[in-house]
Structure 1
Amino acid sequence: MKDSVQDTGRDVVAMSMIQALRSAMDVMLERDDNVVVFGQDVGYFGGVFRCTEGLQAKYGSSRVFDAPISEGGIVGAAVGMGAYGLRPVIEIQFADYFYPAFDQIVSEAARLRYRSVGQFTAPMTIRMPCGGGIYGGQTHSQSPEAVFTHVCGLRTVMPSNPYDAKGLLIASIENDDPVIFLEPKRLYNGPFDGHHDRPVVPWSKHPKSQVPKGYYTVPLDTAEIVRPGKELTIITYGTTVYVSQTAAEEAGIDAEVIDLRSLWPLDLETIVNSVKKTRRCVVVHEATRTCGFGAELVSLIQEHCFHWLEAPIERVTGWDTPYPHAQEWAYFPGPARVGAAFKRAMEG
């Protein structure tokens, strides 16, 4: 792991992803008076998933506060705060709700540094619970990461575990450019292996739940090899990190699993080095297939690794359909679909 950890105290405790995210905001609210947290129901209520629970009571309603149901207003206000010198951390209650704020994100936040010739920046972090896991259907379960990776001036992050979630969120808050911080809600309480509609184990029993209480960062531009291997490279992020690991174990393949963590900027070096070593590659993500982020990954691998590849690059994704309510586990890329792609890649 290439993390450069700067920790103010090595006291480590087991945390869920929700607790780790809350700890990151707590650390930064205490360290920097310019940090403010706001959004729908994030104050007294503590957020719909309780990620901000207790922060308003600790830091007051001028630092942690509720906003009207106006995503455009929330993001627009954060752009102004950032230009003024604050570091707003805003929550869009579900990633599906960001569309009314799209113009503010793309036309204002992402372009502020360029348009002002570096006189102003937008040091803001936009937290968004994303993906499935609550049977919320098409209005509460989208994975829109590809929309943001397409926009120059934005950073896009998606952690898969509590340790990374805290370190990446602190790094995002400290960054001087806008960061889209996507949180797979299916991982809030524990990792999934793709066979169950509840976490396989609670985070307290997973090694990546051991999180320092104090300050540390995880770089916003590095991937992590979570499972070394020599026969096949699996490139993934978010919930499908665990699905991919399960599929590799069940298939008995010596697969190398790369958790991207940061989608953009992308750690292309780690990807290329792995694919050149294994000569085979499968890309896995939960979002829809057409124009999903996996398409960009496949294109980059083809450009940089063509002469090393011994089989076509495989891609396993969600379906190009409206997100189903009751059938979301059929929509998710599961170990069976991922394993079938492994087989094709190995036989290619």
Structure 2
Amino acid sequence: MVDVAWQGTGVNQQDVARRAKVLNKLRLGDILFHQLTKAAAILVLVLLGGVIVSLLLGALPALQEFGFSFVTTQSWNPVTDRFGALAPIYGTIITSLIAMLIAVPLGLLIAMFLTELCPMWLRRPIGIAIELLAGIPSIIYGIWGLFVFAPFLQAHVQPRVIAAFENVPVLSTLFEGPPFGIGILTAGLILAIMVLPFITSISRDVFDAVPAVLKEAAYGLGWTQWEVWRYVVLPFARIGVIGGIMLGLGRALGETMAVTFVIGNAHRISTSLLAPGTTISATIANEFTEAVGDLYTSSLIALGLILFFITFVVLAIARYLLLRVQRRIG
């Protein structure tokens, strides 16, 4: 009876077995793919946990010795084994802020020009040039900053800035002192050049993803190009823009070689942006190979732990902003 039923439906047992074999093979491949992706995600968590544990263990002697004063003092004296992280923390935050204050508006304007205003024959060369900036090694930026950019600032820019703001109450403090060429401001400008391609490229891609019908409708209502970009393009692409900005900020916080060349590597806090300073990454790069003694090495590892914490806080704030934007849109 069963054979007659299979023959009546036009399906034999060989076809059924073949199809079952194919389905089992697909099911096995799906299970294998699921396990591989799960293992990759777990591996990332394991690596992150290993980094955190190693940093905590390495920084423990310094944290036990100095306590919270390690973060609040700026003294850094390897001879007397007195270490404080305030000056590197200050330099890291200030140089990153300078970089973002310059790179974010400039990058958004460049992305707007490439997507809305730039002629087609010029769009591709400018886009390639921006992508090439992202591919230049950081040590090249550092060499160029030390031998070309810093002397130019010292000879032509910083003296005029000091003279222009000499009698302005707040700016005179920010731009006082001799024009060294190197310093916190120079490091911030170099970082701005380095993070500019990341912000511009991501912003350009998300601006291109805006549906043309939205812009055409706005133009049909008589809006200007600025109004279309301000009230249509930017709100639609703000999630991607925030992601690009956070990516650039992460690059600025952790940059090492370029900053090491031009910041001056001085463990002190100055109100003037023209004065030499240091960052966490520059301090580690300069002194880790010369660290003698467990406390000295532990202090440098503690700086790395603080940089990790700062980066984590920045990324957490970025995720919170993205969630707020998504909830508002949703």
Give the TM-score band, short-chain normalised: under 0.3
Taking CA–CA contacts closer than 8 Å with sequence separation of 6 or more, which of the two structures ends up with the larger relative contact order? 2
- Return the TM-score normalized by structure 2: 0.21
- Higher percent of residues as helix: 2
- Higher percent of residues as strand: 1
